[in-house]
A = this chain, B = another copy of it.
């Protein structure tokens, strides 16, 4: 395909039209877009990446994710639990003990998340170089 035409796919949900051709649903309130916003969230991504095969406690997660506030960790974990990606286990002991782990659904998501993290690690030097080049050229245009 060369250049996009008026009936080219647009974001975000792919559906088939009457002729069986893949089209995209452009609605902003599309469910897939909402889920993507949640998953591609700054903190959610890190939590899911971290929980791989680990059962972790609240404070432990907080220590591992530098810069996250207690409030945001709570919020993020609740949303992930609501979405069925994380399982929260409360142990009736004193002091309280709460464990977090990926559900099977969360585990399947972890694979693609990890692929994204891996890609970033592999290409970080290229991106850094591109940024340096861009900033350099931008500076030249001023002078």
A69-87 with Cβ < 8 A to chain B: 81-85
Name the one of B65, B120, B127 contacting A11, with C-beta atoms under 8 angstroms.
B65
In the bound assembly, the distance between CA atoms of A126 and B83 in angstroms comes to 8
CB-defined contacts of A81 to chain B, threshold 8 Å: 134
Query: Is A21 located at the chain interface by the 8 A CB criterion?
Result: no
Name the one of B11, B14, B84, B116 contacting A64, with C-beta atoms under 8 angstroms.
B11
CB-defined contacts of A102 to chain B, threshold 8 Å: none
Name the one of B67, B109, B121 contacting A28, with C-beta atoms under 8 angstroms.
B67
| Total contacting residues, chain A, CB less than 8 A | 66
In the bound assembly, the distance between CA atoms of A41 and B37 in angstroms comes to 8
Contact indicator A112/B109 (Cβ below 8 Å): no
Chain A positions near chain B (C-beta within 8 angstroms): 1-4, 8-14, 24, 26-28, 31-33, 35-37, 39-42, 45-46, 49-50, 53-56, 60, 63-67, 81-85, 105, 108-109, 112-113, 115-117, 119-121, 123-124, 126-131, 133-135
Q: Could you give 21 example pairs across A and B, Cβ below 8 Å?
A: A3-B56, A8-B54, A8-B64, A10-B66, A11-B65, A13-B121, A26-B65, A26-B66, A31-B128, A32-B117, A33-B46, A35-B124, A36-B46, A40-B42, A82-B131, A82-B134, A84-B126, A84-B131, A84-B133, A105-B126, A105-B127
